[in-house]
Amino acid sequence: MSLDIQVITPEEIKQRLASGERLNMIDVREDEEVAFGMIPGAKHIPLGELPDRLDEIERSDEIIMICRSGNRSGKACQYLQAAAGINGLKNMVGGMLEWDGPTT
């Protein structure tokens, strides 16, 4: 079963953050990966911990999932939509490899 997951570009996220918009972003990379920097405002929940931390995901009209390349965050979107019934998910295509904005 393939779910239709929407995508968002790193450039679009950067522009929206620069304009002062508050985005609901979840970074699913591992601890050692986020040590190199995360998009400001993103929440860190490693992919393997998602099932146990569903209550930490703020339900909003848009939830942006982020990883290193866009692969794990895509899996996270599919899992959250199929298993948890969460809508409004978007996968950041290209992941942090494509991100050239500020990090924390």
Contact 1, 82 (CB under 8 A): yes
Residue 101 has a pLDDT of: 95
pLDDT band (50, 70, 90) for residue 74: very high
State the virtual CA torsion across 38, 87, 20, 71 in degrees, nearest 10.
30
1, pLDDT greater than 50: no
Q: Which backbone phi and psi does 43 adopt, to 5 degrees?
A: -100, 135
The single residue listed with the structure tokens 């979840």 is 26
pLDDT digit string, tens, across residues 24-51: 999 999 999 999 999 999 999 999 999 9
Catalytic one of 39, 67, 89, 92: 67
pTM of the model: 0.95
16, pLDDT greater than 50: yes
97 CB-near residues (< 8 Å, 6+ apart): 68, 69
| Residue 77 annotated as catalytic | no
